[in-house]
Structure formats: structure tokens, C-alpha cells
Structure 1
Amino acid sequence: MIYGKGGCPVKIRQLSAVDAEKYWNLRLEALQEAPEAFLTTYEDAIKRENPIAQVESNLSTEGNYTFGAFDGDELIGVVTLIQEKAEKIQHRANIFAMYVTPKKQGAGVGEALLTEAIDKAKSIEAIEKINLSVMASNEPAKKLYTKLGFKVFGYEEKAMKLNGVYLDDEHRVLHL
């Protein structure tokens, strides 16, 4: 358990199929609130057939670990750690879909989520490093990743184009 601003208790745990609807609703919020942070658009997401079933499947897939931060029963943040499956790259894992609802940002929730994902990676003997990508303009996220030891190993100009504007990506790695 961690405590956010105002002493609000926040619990971090790995999500399971029973959390699929809460995850999907937060994911839709994320796509609306921070469209520059995700490859999927809100418009594409809402067109998916059976999205809750897809999320249930993802949350039950071996090597796929999604952690949620809860304020009471409300899911307020998520992060996913996925171990590579191919034999030659099983020593790698990737961080995806990191998001904290705006009203809880800056309260330590993101750090707690990411720490939980890193701890999970460390508990898996095969994983030696974690990769992630972050928009080069996302200073709060970059500050958090740096604080937790992620180093820049690459920079991709024009990685994404959103509403006619190009956005650059930083590629980061944490060696365990």
C-alpha cells in the first residue's frame, strides 16, 4: 500500500480477468486524456469488437503482467510489463500502457506502479532488462523513468503524427 496526497491509501496489485471492465474504462480515458502517449486512438479503440473479452484474455496471458493502482474500488492507474516470448530475446521485457488518471497524477501512483512492474521483472530469472518508449516531450514521465534508473538508448524523430504534428520518442532501458 502507498499513500498519495492527502493521505489517500492506494493499493497496487496485479490485475486479473475480473478487472477487465475497469481496465477498459480507464484505457478509454487514457486515450482521450493523453492521445500522444499511445499508438491506439480512442476512435479505433471504441470500434473494437468485444473489447472486454480481449482485455480478459490479455490479463490472463502468460508473460503479460498488468498492475493496477486502486483508490478504494476505483482503478486510477495501470502499467503493463510483457516478457518477450522468442527464445533469443526472452531476457527482455517491455513496459507498455503506463497511465495514471489526471486527478491522481503527482501523488506517487506512477512510481508505485512502475516499481511493482520492475519488481515483477526482477522476480523472473530470465529477464535481464526492461525497455520502454516515451514521448520526448513528456517531461514528468521522463523524470520518473530517470529516477527509477532507465537510461536513454535511442531517439526516434517523427515517431508519431497526431493531428498533423510530429512527435518524437525516446527509447529507454533499465538493466536489472
Structure 2
Amino acid sequence: MIVRLLGPQDAEDYRKVRLEALRQHPDAFAVSYEEEEVRPVSIYEERFQSNENYTFGAFDGDELIGTVTLLKERYRKLKHRANIVAMYVQSPHRSKGVGKKLMTAAIKQAKSEPDIEQVYLTVVQSNASAKKLYQSLGFTTFGIDSKALKIGQDYLDEELMVLAII
């Protein structure tokens, strides 16, 4: 298994994995399957060429099995921050260190950016395995966003986590 930065040539595979993640785990992401499904592949092709965000993919041979994205803040007063979003590992590949390798790649990228001092992420409070992974990498909870997500008539709380990298 290797982890590498995704490029425009990976856009189709990324879209497939992203839609799978949203369909199978709607409670883990802010965006819905229906919203993402209508986005063209060109959106990802463009995103993968940006120097404001970095999407890493884990591959088992030629198959994309997991992803994570690091988003740099753009505003001057927030440039010391970045956010990790869209973390996902396909079910058959979980509990094998794939998520940790993806997160490590994103954190390494953040550390290589001269302005970034802190990395933020959110995780649904009931997602114990994800929280355990993030805590093992040094993330700490600094708050709870009550009713952060609403799916139908149900609400989900999210933990707000941060990692200082300086």
C-alpha cells in the first residue's frame, strides 16, 4: 500500500470513492451524496492542481482505497491554520493502518507549509474509531458543536479537534 498526492489523472477514481463514502456513511460528512453526485469530474481535476489544498490517496496496487484532504486557509489572519476534511478508508481496508498513513501524509504536508501552525478537523462525536486515530496522532478536542449535522430529523454533534505543529 502506498500513499501519494492525487493529481488530475486520479479524478475519476477519487469521485467514485468519494461518492461511495457519502452513500455508505452519510453521518460522517457535511456534504450529501445528492449534492456531490451532480458535481462534474472537472471539479476534482481542478482541485488536484491547486496549491491551496492537497488530497492524498492510499492505493492497494492501482486501486484507490482511501483519501484525505488538507485545506489551507486563505485569509491573512487565518493563514496559520489548515483543515483536514474528507477522510475516508474503504471498509475492507480499515484497521490496517491505512487511515494513519493518510493522516500522517496530510500532517507532513502541513508541517512543510511555512505558515501553518495548527491543523483542525471535526469528527462526529459517536465515531469512536476515528477519534481514537486522531488522538493517537496528537489531536485534542477543544469543543463540541452541538447539532452540527442534521440528517432528516436527526442531529449529530461533532467534536472540534486541533493539532499544534510548531
The TM tier, using the shorter chain, reads over 0.9
> Deviation at 1:105?
0.7
The separation in 2 between residues aligned to 1:164 and 1:43, in whole angstroms, is 17
**Aligned twin of 1:90:** 79
The separation in 2 between residues aligned to 1:116 and 1:14, in whole angstroms, is 9
> Deviation at 1:124?
1.1
Give the counterpart of 1:13 among 4, 7, 21. 4
Q: Please tell me the residue identity of whatever aligns with 1:139.
A: A
Q: Please tell me the residue identity of whatever aligns with 1:54.
A: I
Q: Structure 1 stretches (4+) deviating beyond 6 angstroms?
A: none
> Deviation at 1:47?
2.5
TM-score scaled to structure 2, two decimals? 0.97
Structure 1 alignment gaps of length 5 or more: 1-9
Q: Please tell me the residue identity of whatever aligns with 2:162.
A: V
Given the alignment of the two structures, is residue 168 of structure 1 paired with residue 157 of structure 2, yes or no?
Answer: yes
- Give the % identical residues: 50
Deviations 1:117-149 (A, max 9, x none): 001111111110000000000000000000000
**Aligned twin of 1:7:** none
Q: Please tell me the residue identity of whatever aligns with 2:119.
A: I
Give the counterpart of 2:98 among 109, 112, 135. 109
Please give the root-mean-square deviation of Cα atoms over the aligned residues, in Å.
Answer: 0.8
The separation in 1 between residues aligned to 2:50 and 2:73, in whole angstroms, is 12
Q: How does 1:61-72 map to 2 (within 5 A)?
A: 61-72=50-61
The separation in 2 between residues aligned to 1:163 and 1:110, in whole angstroms, is 29
Structure 2 alignment gaps of length 5 or more: none
**Aligned twin of 2:124:** 135
Q: How does 1:46-85 map to 2 (within 5 A)?
A: 46-48=37-39, 51-85=40-74
Q: How does 1:121-132 map to 2 (within 5 A)?
A: 121-132=110-121
The separation in 2 between residues aligned to 1:47 and 1:24, in whole angstroms, is 11
What count of residue pairs does the alignment treat as equivalent?
Answer: 165
The separation in 2 between residues aligned to 1:107 and 1:163, in whole angstroms, is 33
TM-score scaled to structure 1, two decimals? 0.92
**Aligned twin of 1:23:** 14
Given the alignment of the two structures, is residue 32 of structure 1 paired with residue 23 of structure 2, yes or no?
Answer: yes
